[in-house]
């Protein structure tokens, strides 16, 4: 029997390939990279903030489907197309992750058609 459980939720944008939204292993939940897409797979067009909020909404939906919350995050990785959006991302990151934010890595990335992607690891014990 597998020691991990995977999940895909209809409450977040569908995975863009053959992977799950999350994998649960022991006391940890690993969230795949969330992007600013709607549950029908269409891209949220607009400003960085609009795309970032859509991305965070997908992360929240995946965390909740796993029985957890972004407040349980111990690590996050943020991929930005343009590092000029760093401060705007910081403001939203603080809003969604709260007073005890996880460790984080932020890098500039050549994202295919969108401005931000975020993945995270949650601790649920």
**pLDDT digit string (tens) for the chain, length 125 residues:** 578 999 999 999 999 999 999 999 999 999 999 999 999 999 999 999 999 999 999 999 999 999 999 999 999 999 999 999 999 999 999 999 989 999 999 999 999 999 999 999 999 98
Burial class of residue 58, CB neighbours in 10 A (0-12, 13-18, 19+): buried
Q: What is the DSSP letter of 124?
A: -
Cα dihedral 23→25→29→31 (10° resolution): -30
Is the pTM higher than 0.85? The answer reads yes
Helices (H), 1-125: 48-65, 86-97
Residue 85 near residue 21 (C-beta atoms within 8 A): no
Give Cα separations from 116 to 12, 48, 96, 125 (angstroms): 16, 8, 15, 29
Containing structural domain, residue 77: 4-123
CATH, residue 62: 3.30.1330.40
pLDDT of 1: 54
How many domains does one find in the chain? 1
Structure tokens at 92: 């939203």
Give the strand order in the sheet containing 103-108: 4-7, 22-25, 28-34, 116-123, 73-80, 103-108
């Amino acid at each position: 029997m597998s020691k991990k459980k995977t999940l895909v939720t209809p409450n977040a944008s569908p995975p863009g390939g053959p992977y799950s939204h999350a994998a649960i292993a022991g006391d940890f939940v690993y969230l795949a990279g969330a992007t600013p897409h709607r549950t029908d797979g269409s891209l949220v067009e607009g400003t960085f903030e609009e795309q970032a909020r859509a991305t965070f909404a997908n992360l929240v939906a995946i965390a909740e489907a796993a029985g957890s919350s972004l407040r349980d995050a111990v690590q996050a990785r943020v991929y930005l197309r343009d590092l000029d959006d760093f401060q705007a991302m910081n403001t939203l990151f603080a809003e969604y992750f709260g007073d005890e934010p996880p460790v984080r890595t932020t890098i500039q990335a050549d994202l295919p058609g969108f401005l931000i992607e975020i993945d995270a690891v949650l601790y649920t014990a």
